[in-house]
C-alpha cells in the first residue's frame, strides 16, 4: 500500500513516516500541496494523508483538485478543532479527519479503517467525480447547517438513515458501493441489520426523489451484482 503524506511540519511528518513504515506502508512524504498533486499524478497512491494548513495550497484545495481525477481515500490532518475545516474537508470528498495533536498509532488505525471501508481499488476510471461538476449544477446538494439533502434546491424529507446513505453517495459521485460498504458507512451498528435493509432504504429514497421530480429516482443507480451508485 502506497501512502502519500502531505505535511509541512517535519516533527509530525517524521513520526508519521516512521509509524506507517513500521506497519509496512510505502510512504512518500511531500511538504506542499503542489508537490502532492505532482506526486499523485506521477504515481497513483492508495491513500493520501493531507494536512489542511500547507504553505502553498490549502489541504482543502488539494483535495478538491485530487477529486477531479481520483477517488483515492483521503484523511485530513487539521491543527484546529475547527468545524469549518472538518465540514469543508468531508464535503470536498475527504474520508475522515484527525485533529492535532494525535498519536501516530491513531493515524495508522484510521488509515486501516478507511482502507477496509473502501476495499475496491482507489484508482479506477469512471469512479472519480466529474471535473467541473460544481455544487450548484449538481441535482442533489447537501446543506450541512440544516442537515438536509436538497433535490434541485428543494429539501427532501428523509429519515436519519436515508440522509446518511445519501451523504455517502454525494461524497463520491459515480462510485459503486456494495451493500456491505453502505451498511458500514451509514449504520452505527451494521450487525443489527441485513443487506436487504439497504435495498429497502434505497427504494424509499428513490420514491422520495421521484415524488419531488419524476425521473430523478434514476440518480441512484443499481449496479447489478455489485451495489449502488449516485449518477448525477
Ligand atoms: Ca501544517
Mind listing the pLDDT tens digit for each residue in 83-124?
667 767 777 788 888 888 889 999 999 999 888 877 644 333
Query: Which range has the top average pLDDT, 95-99, 176-180, 205-209, 211-215?
Result: 205-209
Highest mean pLDDT among 22-36, 107-121, 175-189, 207-221: 22-36
How far is the centre of ligand 1, averaged over its atoms, from the C-alpha of 107 (Å)? 16
Gap from CA of 8 to ligand 1 centroid (Å): 5
Question: What is the CATH number that goes with domain 131-230?
Answer: 1.10.10.10
CA of 55 to the centre of ligand 1 (A): 7
pTM score, two decimals?
0.54
Output the pLDDT for position 197: 85
How far apart are the CA of 66 and the centre of ligand 1, in A?
18
Q: Is 66 exposed, middle or buried (0-12, 13-18, 19+ CB in 10 A)?
A: buried
Q: Residue ranges per domain, the chain? A: 2-117, 131-230
Distance of CA 146 to the CA centre of its chain: 20
pLDDT tens digits, 2-29: 999 999 999 999 999 999 999 999 999 9
pLDDT of amino acid 172: 82
- Homologous superfamily of the 2-117 domain (CATH): Response regulator (3.40.50.2300)
Distance CA 19, CA 3 (A): 12
Amino acid at each position: 500500500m502506497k501512502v502519500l503524506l502531505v505535511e509541512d511540519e517535519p516533527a509530525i511528518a517524521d513520526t508519521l513516516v516512521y509509524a506507517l513504515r513500521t506497519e509496512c506502508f510505502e510512504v512518500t512524504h511531500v511538504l506542499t500541496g503542489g508537490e502532492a498533486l505532482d506526486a499523485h499524478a506521477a504515481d497513483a497512491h492508495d491513500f493520501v494523508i493531507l494536512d489542511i494548513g500547507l504553505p502553498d495550497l490549502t489541504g482543502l484545495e488539494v483535495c478538491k483538485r485530487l477529486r477531479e481525477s481520483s477517488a483515492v481515500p483521503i484523511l485530513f490532518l487539521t491543527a484546529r478543532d475547527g468545524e469549518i475545516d472538518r465540514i469543508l474537508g468531508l464535503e470536498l470528498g475527504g474520508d475522515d479527519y484527525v485533529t492535532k495533536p494525535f498519536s501516530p498509532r491513531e493515524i495508522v488505525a484510521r488509515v486501516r479503517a478507511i482502507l477496509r471501508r473502501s476495499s475496491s481499488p482507489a484508482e479506477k476510471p469512471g469512479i472519480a467525480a466529474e471535473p467541473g461538476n460544481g455544487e450548484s449544477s449538481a441535482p442533489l446538494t447537501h446543506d450541512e447547517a440544516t442537515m438536509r439533502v436538497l433535490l434541485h434546491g428543494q429539501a427532501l424529507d428523509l429519515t436519519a438513515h436515508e440522509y446518511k446513505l445519501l451523504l455517502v453517495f454525494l461524497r463520491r459521485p459515480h462510485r459503486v458501493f456494495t451493500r456491505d460498504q453502505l451498511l458500514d458507512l451509514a449504520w452505527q451498528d451494521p450487525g443489527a441489520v441485513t443487506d436487504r435493509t439497504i435495498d429497502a432504504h434505497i427504494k424509499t429514497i428513490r420514491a422520495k426523489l421521484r415524488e419531488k421530480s419524476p425521473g430523478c429516482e434514476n440518480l441512484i443507480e443499481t449496479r447489478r451484482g455489485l451495489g449502488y451508485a449516485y449518477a448525477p
